[in-house]
């Protein structure tokens, strides 16, 4: 499934799995994909969030708060580990249905942006496609809530991301 994903997109997914483990969960949700995109650090999403003053630790805290509100319990070990979580994910962690949909939508987004004359140039799925899929109205789930709590308007990031992709064509 991930054979067309760029190295950075794969790293973002791996980081999402790592964040899931650090939070004590057994499913990767859209909020974890968001953390993976921010945590990867070199992609369009990370740079956009950085320019808005949003870092990985801020997003982690907000994800933790949202999950606490939804699930009704906190992650005391996680709160101590914020900013210190490390290690390699050695097991494959399954995705929620929303997160699976984001991955499928990113493949569709990449296909939309294939230039008519150069089919090879955008035959990959990059972090920008994951980000756009997260930000679409039928996409992000909890990730959208997290962004809004952080003071980010997802539609502004969506427009900027699409414009960036077209500049790359």
Q: List the chain domain ranges.
A: 7-168
Residue with tokens 């499934």: 1
The C-alpha atoms of residue 126 and residue 47 are separated, in whole angstroms, by 14
Any idea which of 14-18, 64-68, 83-87 has the lowest mean pLDDT?
Answer: 83-87
Residue with tokens 């950075």: 8
Any idea which of 56-65, 91-100, 140-149, 153-162 has the lowest mean pLDDT?
Answer: 153-162
Among 20-29, 94-103, 107-116, 147-156, the range with the most confident prediction by mean pLDDT is 94-103
What are the pLDDT digits (tens) for 19-44? 988 887 888 999 999 999 999 888 77
Residues 144 and 163: beta-carbon distance below 8 Å:
no
Classify domain 7-168 at the CATH topology level. Double Clp-N motif (1.10.1780)
62, burial (CB in 10 Å: exposed 0-12, middle 13-18, buried 19+)? buried
Any idea which of 21-25, 50-54, 79-83 has the lowest mean pLDDT?
Answer: 79-83
The C-alpha atoms of residue 13 and residue 1 are separated, in whole angstroms, by 12
Q: Share the mean pLDDT of the chain.
A: 79
What are the pLDDT digits (tens) for 1-16? 677 899 999 999 999 9
40, burial (CB in 10 Å: exposed 0-12, middle 13-18, buried 19+)? buried
Percent of the chain with pLDDT over 70: 75
Q: How far is CA 1 from CA 45, 125, 130, in A?
A: 22, 11, 14
125 strand-pairing partners: 5
């Amino acid at each position: 499934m991930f054979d067309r994903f760029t190295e950075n997109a794969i790293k973002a997914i791996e980081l999402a799995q790592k964040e899931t483990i650090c939070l004590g969960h057994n499913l990767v949700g859209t909020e974890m994909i968001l953390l993976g995109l921010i945590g990867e650090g070199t992609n369009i999403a990370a740079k956009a969030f950085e320019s808005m003053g949003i870092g990985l630790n801020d997003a982690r805290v907000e994800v933790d708060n949202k999950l606490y509100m939804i699930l009704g319990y906190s992650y005391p070990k996680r709160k101590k580990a914020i900013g210190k979580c490390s290690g390699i994910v050695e097991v494959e962690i399954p995705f929620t249905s929303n997160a699976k949909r984001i991955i499928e939508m990113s493949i569709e987004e990449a296909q939309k942006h294939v230039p008519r004359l150069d089919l090879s140039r955008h035959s990959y799925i990059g972090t920008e496609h994951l980000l756009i899929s997260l930000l679409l109205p039928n996409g992000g789930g909890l990730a959208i809530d997290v962004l809004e709590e952080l003071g980010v308007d997802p539609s502004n990031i969506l427009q900027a991301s699409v414009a960036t992709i077209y500049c790359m064509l």
